[in-house]
Amino acid sequence: MTTVTDVSIVIPLFNEDESLRELHAWIRRVTDQHQLSTEIIFVDDGSKDKSWEIIESLKAHDPMITGIRFQRNYGKSAALHVGFEAASGSVVITMDADMQDSPDEIPELVRMIREDGFDLVSGWKKKRHDPISKTIPTKLYNWATRRMSGIYLHDFNCGLKAYRLEVVKSLEIFGEMHRYIPVMAHREGFRKIGEKVVEHRARKYGVTKFGLERFINGPLDLLTIMFISKFGKRPMHIFGTIGAAMFLIGSFISIYLIINKFFHLYVWQTKAPLLSDQAVFYIALASMVIGTQLFLAGFLGELITRNAPGRNNYKIGGRI
């Protein structure tokens, strides 16, 4: 083995004490067989079982283990974020701790990053061992993500992924954004994103840690990513455009009502209808008010953005 870390394996976990020893032994068997110098980063997301005690005991016999423990449960995105910060290998692998991801996939994922030149390789659980209540929403969200992002992966949320180190160091993952890491990486300029069919093993230990709220949070997080990536540094482009359009629509309607009233009074010599009796008047008023508010929101967004500390932080892809 080389003395330099070739691969960093980031494993977020929450109450997985039953699987950790077996998972660690399997990873070491695979990496030793393929002569990969590998660090394993366990991120304990506030487990309430004996997960941390087991990580400590594994660390005592394996110095290439790094354990990070949250004081409370923050979620998978937070665990991946701190794991990425700690990673030092030229290739970074993420996998779940529940034994549904197979460590036997690691060597091929590493090869695809090193030899095929991918920035990111996402696993595709083509044959899933999940109930229909999970597989159907997953297919729906994957379809929606493909349509909105233009990235044609079959399984965005697969926990088994491989990255170049530069990719994970460029990402800031928060909330529930771990579902859309390929989208975030693509928006940061890492365009060579690949996919590999991986084995999805039936759950051997524990229960799923994700509830029904993921069906609500997932689409909202996707909209957040798409919005921030397009308008994060120029909020006036979206708020100002919509606000100005609504204000103009309201103004045109108001002008029409005024001209119509003028013709009734002075040209046709007829009784003019009261503005307050016409529904279109209130539509015009609401459009002007909302349009003004949106325009001001964009203006305030620009002030905040232009005074933000990282307003001129850009990702540099090369320098000579």
Q: What is the pLDDT of residue 38?
A: 94
Q: Which of 200, 231, 262 is the last residue of a domain?
A: 231
The verdict on residue 317 lying in a domain is no
- Considering the domain architecture, whether residues 276 and 166 belong to the same structural domain is answered as no
What CATH number did the domain enclosing 37 receive?
3.90.550.10
- Considering the domain architecture, whether residues 222 and 240 belong to the same structural domain is answered as no
Least confident of 5-9, 39-43, 89-93: 5-9
Cα–Cα distance list, 246 to 240, 251, 252, 284 (Å): 10, 9, 10, 9
Per-residue pLDDT for 312 more than 60?
no
Determine the Cα–Cα distance for residues 19 and 39; give it in Å rounded to an integer. Answer: 18
pLDDT digits (tens, 9 = 90+) for 184-214: 898 888 989 999 999 888 777 666 655 556 6
The verdict on residue 135 lying in a domain is yes
Q: What is the pLDDT of residue 166?
A: 94
pTM of the model: 0.74
Per-residue pLDDT for 273 more than 70?
yes
Chain mean pLDDT for the chain: 85
Tally helices (H) and strands (E) across the chain: 10, 7
Contact 192, 166 (CB under 8 A): no
pLDDT digits (tens, 9 = 90+) for 101-137: 999 999 999 999 999 999 999 999 888 766 666 667 7
pLDDT digits (tens, 9 = 90+) for 25-75: 999 999 999 999 999 999 999 999 999 999 999 999 999 999 999 999 988
- Considering the domain architecture, whether residues 185 and 290 belong to the same structural domain is answered as no
**Joined tokens for residue 147:** 């349509």
The verdict on residue 319 lying in a domain is no
Q: Which of 199, 231, 263 is the last residue of a domain?
A: 231
Determine the Cα–Cα distance for residues 225 and 63; give it in Å rounded to an integer. Answer: 38
Q: What are phi and psi of 2, to 5 degrees?
A: -80, 160
Average pLDDT over residues 227-233: 69
Give 286 or 261, the one with higher predicted confidence.
Answer: 286
The verdict on residue 87 lying in a domain is yes
Per-residue pLDDT for 309 more than 50?
yes
Could you give the number of structural domains in the chain? 2
Q: Which amino acid is at 257?
A: L
Q: Which of 176, 205, 231 is the last residue of a domain?
A: 231
Task: Tell me what percent of the residues of the chain surpass a pLDDT of 90.
Answer: 49
- Considering the domain architecture, whether residues 101 and 154 belong to the same structural domain is answered as yes
- Considering the domain architecture, whether residues 174 and 294 belong to the same structural domain is answered as no
DSSP letter at 234? -
- Considering the domain architecture, whether residues 25 and 125 belong to the same structural domain is answered as yes
The verdict on residue 318 lying in a domain is no
- Considering the domain architecture, whether residues 87 and 204 belong to the same structural domain is answered as yes
**Domain containing residue 223:** 7-231
- Considering the domain architecture, whether residues 33 and 86 belong to the same structural domain is answered as yes
